[in-house]
Amino acid sequence: MPSRAQIAQECGVGENVVRRAQKLLISQGVLEGRAGSGTYVAEPRRRVPVVRSSAREQRDDSTFCADMKAVGKYGDWESRTEAKVPAPIEIATRLGIAEGDLCVRTGYEFLADGRPVQLSTSWEPYDLTAGTLVVLPEGGPHAGEGVVNRMAAIGITVSHAVEQPEPRQANAAEASLLGIQKAALVTHIRRTYYSDQGRPVETADIVVPAALCEIVYEVSIGR
């Protein structure tokens, strides 16, 4: 693209206005900045669907991988689990435990054709799964089966989940992992699973970049 000075002169505005406009378009994935080279129109990319649905929680396979296959991409994920991590105040509040109580924390990078398109950090109360075969979400005989099926394996029925989505800008760590500009638009989803006894059994922070993904909510209608 032309320099900011050229655009400002042609449009009759100040360079600061052009800078803010470019920053917004970069955050939306329309433009991309290249250090030492300038600003370019971003190559059009088909955003991958991120489907949120209560019915899909009952599946035994990966809904993410199925969604990627539907758009001709190979879906996969990488994870890292840490056991006995003290819960910070916000996580403790969401899980109904005391600040500092131990949790199992798992970070996920969801990949489409090998490229990260979604991040998630999951927290489970350690006292809930300690000593069981499901203490590690991605280890043991129930690895990768998801919260609902893993909890069922130890006699806990997950009855519902609550999700709170909100838009914000990516921080530096998220931008680096996702390969997007710092401060690019993302949707941050705070999700918490509850047992049929009303106890929170897992909570997660899900980060979906607007430039790479579109969120689709599938709502079941009872009769």
Kindly report, residue by residue over 98-120, the tens digit of the pLDDT. Answer: 999 999 999 999 998 898 999 99
pLDDT for 183 = 81
CB contact burial 3-35 (16+ within 10 A = b; e otherwise) = ebeebbeeeeeeeeebeeebbebbbebebeeee
Asked if residues 135 and 122 have their Cβ atoms less than 8 Å apart, the reply is no
pLDDT at 221: 79
Pairwise CA distance, residues 102 & 91, whole Å: 11
Helix axes 4-11, 15-27, angle to 10 degrees: 110
Mean of the per-residue pLDDT values for the chain?
88
Distance CA 209, CA 27 (A): 10
pLDDT for 38: 82
Residue 45's pLDDT is 66
pTM of the model: 0.79
> What's the mean pLDDT in 64-80?
86
Each residue's pLDDT tens digit, 14-58: 989 988 888 778 766 677 777 777 888 877 667 777 778 766 555
Pairing of strands 115-125, 102-112: antiparallel
